[in-house]
Amino acid sequence: MTAAVMAWALSRLEVGQRVILASVVETAGSVPGKVGARLAMTPDEQWVGTVGGAGLELKVLQRCKERLQTHHRPFGEVVRYGLNKGAKGYEVTPLDSLCGGQVTLSIEVMIPMPHVLLMGGGHCGQAIAKSLDALDWQYSVHDTRTEFSTEVMYPNAQYRSSVPVDVFLQAETLESLHRFSDVLLLGHDWSEDQERLLGLLHLFHDAKAIPDGQRGPRIGVIGSRSKWQTFEKKCLGQGIEQSILDGVVCPIGLNIGAESPEEIAVAVVAQIMASFKGIDSESSIWRT
């Protein structure tokens, strides 16, 4: 069972879902679950495994749901349950049970490592890829220019694509996009970035979902406020809801005065890191 629970948890992480793992680490007296018993849950409340069943399991499942609702640290905790409504002791939560023992559990939220889709393989894409390599984060590349999505240029990319924008988008669904933590529009041609943005946001619109960390990748667009205003007007004209547009970041990157591609890469990757770690940086220009 333990192997099955861990395999399931890893499979959920692979597709970009957060997973919470509850493990029995210590017991005393009569208890329903022994050391090593585990269960795992995702934000959509799917779960596998068991920590012993009965009232204990219901309490643990509820705690897991609560922990998954927050994106902020700490991501783990240790809790102790006394299986008797009169249980006492240091940091012991009493349960309405007749078992009489105690169970200590480790509850840990596991977050998938960032996987960034670079939609544009030019100077900024190359600089960002090098920063991602340094962090050992995953990334993939799409550029309609074949020479800007080669293995030579991006040797560590998970995959590379140079198909037309419409062909790329036709192969994607909101569910398939969950494999990415972030999609960065870095195209050499503003019209390509606009086409990418419209295609991506229509997926969110059709699913009635706002692009936050739970229901899809974060979307960022390189460029000026003026560029964004033009994109925003076009999206609204095609029926994209303002609430969905408000989840898009433009311009991308922390406000550190970045100018060169390498400096922009530092600002962008730092911004992704802050979001990944649940840090609300005051210097961030992510819109809320």
Q: DSSP for 95-142, please give it.
A: -S-S---EEEEEEEEE-PPPEEEEE--SHHHHHHHHHHHHHT-EEEEE
Are residues 231 and 150 part of one domain? yes
Rounded to two decimals, what is the model's pTM? 0.77
Q: Look up the domain containing 140 and give its range.
A: 115-276
Q: Find the helix packing angle between 225-237 and 190-206, rounded to 10°.
A: 50
Residue % of the chain over a pLDDT of 70: 85
The reply to whether 132 falls in a domain is: yes
Tens digit of each residue's pLDDT (9 = 90 or more) over 122-176 = 999 999 999 999 999 999 999 999 999 999 999 999 999 999 999 999 999 888 8
Query: What would the two tokens of residue 112 be?
Result: 């998938």
Tens digit of each residue's pLDDT (9 = 90 or more) over 220-244 = 999 888 999 999 999 999 999 898 8
**Contact at 8 Å (CB) between 237 and 231?**
no
| Domain-ending residue, one of 110, 136, 162 | 110
SS3 breakdown of the chain: % helix, strand, coil, rounded to 5? Answer: 35, 20, 45
Higher pLDDT, 285 or 117: 117
d(CA 127, CA 155): 13
d(CA 225, CA 230): 9
| Domain-ending residue, one of 110, 138, 164 | 110
Are residues 189 and 79 part of one domain? no
The reply to whether 154 falls in a domain is: yes
**Contact at 8 Å (CB) between 138 and 113?**
yes
With 0-12 CB in 10 A as exposed, 13-18 as middle and 19+ as buried, what is 252? buried
The stretch 257-286 carries a mean pLDDT of: 81
The reply to whether 281 falls in a domain is: no
Are residues 150 and 222 part of one domain? yes
